[in-house]
Structures are given as structure tokens and as C-alpha cells.
Amino acid sequence: MTDAALATPETPLAREVKRRRTFAIISHPDAGKTTLTEKLLMFGGAIQLAGQVKAKGERRRTRSDWMAIERDRGISVVTSVMTFEYRDCVFNLLDTPGHEDFSEDTYRTLTAVDSAVMVIDAAKGIEARTRKLFEVCRLRDIPIVTFINKMDRESRDPFEILDEIETTLALDATPLTWPIGRGRDFAGTFELGSGRIRLVDGGDEAAGVGLEALGGLVSEHRLAEVTEELELAQGALKPFELASFREGHLTPVLFGSALRNFGVRDLLDALADLAPSPQGLDSDKRPVAAEEPRMTAFVFKVQANMDPNHRDRIAFVRLCSGKLTRGMKALQTRTSKTIGLHAPQFFFAQDRQLAEEAFAGDVVGIPNHGLLRIGDTLTDGENLSFLGVPSFAPEILRRVRLEDAMKAKKLKQALQEMAEEGVVQVFRPVDGSPALVGVVGPLQLDVMEGRLKAEYGLEVGFEQSQYSLARWVSAENKLDLAEFLNANRASTAEDLDGDPVLLTGSAFQMSRAQERWSKVKFTDVKDVR
């Protein structure tokens, strides 16, 4: 069979790809992401993807194990993935760390999803972090389904919330359901398309269809109110358009209460029916379609020391096309090395299991000893690389002060490992002076200090250095760059990949350098390959 024939929608591979939904939840802390995640997983149940996963000799990890690790670290810094099945779909929910300091991590995670769920607290509307995460989604026009949560509490007027989405995010908002009452009087929802009524205490079964049916279920006053709101809504709001949603211009909106497990099924149905299956991706050689038979994937996250007993590292890999089979050989295109994928893993709510096979859209963890890095592309042999898992210039630069000077070598290794994991950036000055670490937010320093102690037995502190700013430098002409680096030897450093970085003490000095060296490009974002 030719590749073209294999790529028709009838192939088993294409069928598998089509039923995948890989998404993340974006929200402001406290809006209900954790609660909603738990409810989503509940619908998925304790799943077994028939024939795909087997627990072979892998110690079953309980939820409390994970919690202990997170507790030790003092904060949840785990970007994990949870796989579950609902209807005929396989959902991969990529968790994003909640704290702002880990926005870089979050950004990378959002490069690995095909859609996102935006959770909004009905009383608070769009909050700062939601807006920030939304902007990240917008960079790739990721389709977004909106879940207005906490309708069982005093909330804003639904029109006001919809209006806020439209004005602050410049995103059309189309309700798929409409709330019947709110706060203590929140009784359920009316589905605009079908007229189906669901009541908060009514389980999953529809309580009736059409406004007439609602008559017998709520007070006359409430019926009049809902009737009026619906008339207004249908007159004033844009009808749902699939194409517009898929292009990232329109968000379907659902109302519910994660805590009371209401509206969660609507959300899953919306994801199954409307959200896109895995999309193709551009590489440096050619566009790659999700349904094509050849396996391609990229690493968007590396997590070290997940299991304190084994110093293992897990590279989280998003499959972009084809099928991964356990035991297959993969080409790491950055190094041209071949890697045997002997123990790829799926992650569930409380468990991880060997993945016998996985398809485009799936996220698998690949245990390794530091070989795999963020941004790496894996293929079944074809030499191509995906772009667009970026690094950002750190906002904070510090020197690491080591209490016990005898442990310098160990510190070097620990920093290298943490840099490969993406939790910190390490810059090594070319003049041989001690390395600097760079982070996006101050909390990352605390986490780093805690982990250096817990995982490596190193007592450290952090000191200000004369540098506060780092920019990657490059030039079209290699000679221009070489000349610049020669002249600025005292203030250049190399990053993890050996790429040159200029360090300065102020923004003023940076712009001076920029003015003087017009042929050199200074950037605060680096695309990792």
C-alpha cells in the first residue's frame, strides 16, 4: 500500500488519530481547575485502553506517592499528563503548573495541545492569569472551550461574563447551554441547540426538552426570567460556527459547577464533538500530517527524579504523527542517535503503565538518563525537526553559593541536570568564572534550593551578580558574531547548548551594545530544536 492510501480516513491509524483529544486547562488559581480535573477523570473512570496498556512488573504508584513528592518539593511543579477515555474518544489532559513562575513550563505544555478549556470563576470573570494563558493560546490560535464554573455560588450576570470574554479577549463567545437561575437558585441548564434541560440534582438524564417542559420544574418567576434571557441571548449572540471555533476566533461557552459535578459531561461532549483531533505540524523539512504512518514526536517536558528510588528522568513526548510501538527504535534528530523505546509509559490519574502502542496526539513518558532534552524531535528514521518549543531569557540571574566547596563538581552536575530538565537556565561565562543560573520568577529559586538539598544533598544560597540581563546573540555572518564575541569576552557566556549569550548589568547597557553592534541580533527568546 502506498503512503497516500494509508492516509485515507478509513485506515485504522487514521481512526485512532481521529478519536484523540489532547488538551489543557487554562485558568486563574482557585477558579476550579483541580476540581474539574478530578471530575473529568471520574467520567473517564479507572480506564484501560483495551490491548494498549499492560502493567508489566511496573510497581503501581499510588496517588499518595505523587503527593509526597509534591509535598517534599513544597509546591506542585509537575506538568503531568492524564489519559482517560470517554465515549469513543481518548483524552490526553496535560496539566499545567498553576504558579505564575512556571509560565515557561506552561508555555511549552501549550505547544503540545490541540485545544484548551478555559475555566472562569462565575463571580470573578476573566482574571489576570487566565488572560495571560489565553494570550499564549492565541499565538497558535488554539481552539478554546469555555467553562463558567461555580454557578452554584453568587455569580455575575451571564451576559456580563460573555461580554467580558468578547471585549477583553477579542474572542466571540457563544453559549451552548444557558443557566437556569444562579447562586443558591441555580437549578440546571438549558441546551440552546436541542432544548434539552438538565437539572443539578437530576443526574445525567435530561429532565425534559423545551421551555414548556421547564414549566413543571421551576417556579413561574424563574421560567419567565429564563425565557426572557434566552430570547435576549438568541437575538444578541452569534450562532456557533465550527470553523470559527477551530480557527480560534470563537469560544463555545458552558455553564456549570465542577464541585457539584454539573456541566462536566457537557464539557466532555463538547470536546468530543467539537474540539479538533490531532493536527499536523510544520517541521524544518516538510509539513507533517497527523495521520501519516511514519512516527514523529517531540519532547516538550523533562521531569527528573520522579521516583526518588531510581534517579530516572522522564521525557514527556507528544506524538505528532503515526504510531509508536513499544520496543521500536527512534532517531533523535538533534544528535543522530538511535534510541530504543523500551518502556514508554502512559500516565493515568493514579498510575503509570507501559504503553504498548500510542498514536498521534498521545503523550507518553520516556524514561532516560539525560539523553532526551526539551525540543528534541524523535522520528522513525526520517531526518526532520519540529520547531517552536522556545526558551525565554530569564528575568532573574544569580550566582550559586555553595556551602561546601568540595562539592563543586556535584553542583555542576546537578545544575546541568536541572537545566536539561528546563527548570533553570545555566550560563557559563566563557572566561571560566562560576556559572550563573537564570529563572523566570523568584519562586523557582526556592524550588531549586529545595531540590538541590533533597535530591543532591547540596546546601546552597543565591547571590546577586553584576549581571541582571541575558540575551542570546547571533548574526547572519559568522565573522560578525566572532568579532562581537571576541570584543565582549568578559561578558559573554554559553547556555546549555553552547549558544552564546551576552550578559549585562542593565537594560541601558544592553541597548548600548545593540546600538554599537548593529549586525548582531539580540533576542530574548530562543527556539530550541
Summarize the annotated binding site for GTP as residue ranges. 27-34, 95-99, 149-152
Burial group, residue 207, by CB count within 10 angstroms (0-12, 13-18, 19+):
middle
- Residue 149 or 504 with smaller CB distance to ligand GDP: 149
Burial group, residue 5, by CB count within 10 angstroms (0-12, 13-18, 19+):
exposed
Exposure of 319 in the CB half-sphere (CA atoms within 13 A): 34
- Residue 40 or 290 with smaller CB distance to ligand GDP: 40
Q: CB neighbours of 517 closer than 8 A, spacing ≥ 6?
A: 480, 484
> According to the binding rule CB under 6 A, does residue 95 interact with ligand GDP?
no
Binding characters for ligand GDP, 123-152, by CB under 6 A (x = yes)? --------------------------xx-x
DSSP state of 125: B
8 A C-beta contact, residue 74 and residue 454: no
Residue count of the chain: 529
> Which 354-413 residues touch ligand GDP, going by CB under 6 A?
none
Q: How far is the CB of 384 from ligand GDP (least distance, A)?
A: 38
Q: Whole-angstrom Cα distance, residue 262 to residue 189?
A: 9
The H-assigned helical ranges of 337-441 are: 408-421
Residue of 257, 279, 353, 444 interacting with ligand GDP (CB under 6 A): 257
Annotated binding site: 27-34, 95-99, 149-152
Q: How far is the CB of 153 from ligand GDP (least distance, A)?
A: 4
Q: Whole-angstrom Cα distance, residue 25 to residue 411?
A: 36
Q: How far is the CB of 262 from ligand GDP (least distance, A)?
A: 8
8 A C-beta contact, residue 144 and residue 251: yes
Sheet holding 20-27, edge to edge: 81-86, 89-94, 20-27, 115-121, 144-149, 250-255, 172-175
Q: How far is CA 240 from the centre of its chain?
A: 26
> According to the binding rule CB under 6 A, does residue 259 interact with ligand GDP?
yes
Q: How far is the CB of 161 from ligand GDP (least distance, A)?
A: 14
Using left for φ > 0, alpha for ψ between -120 and 50, and beta otherwise, residue 500 falls in beta
Copy the grid coordinates of residue 319. Answer: 506524538
Q: How far is the CB of 461 from ligand GDP (least distance, A)?
A: 31
- Residue 176 or 426 with smaller CB distance to ligand GDP: 176
- Residue 158 or 278 with smaller CB distance to ligand GDP: 158
- Residue 257 or 296 with smaller CB distance to ligand GDP: 257
> According to the binding rule CB under 6 A, does residue 283 interact with ligand GDP?
no
Binding characters for ligand GDP, 25-64, by CB under 6 A (x = yes)? --x-xxxxxxx-----------------------------
Residues near ligand GDP (CB under 6 A) are 27, 29-35, 98, 149-150, 152-153, 257-259
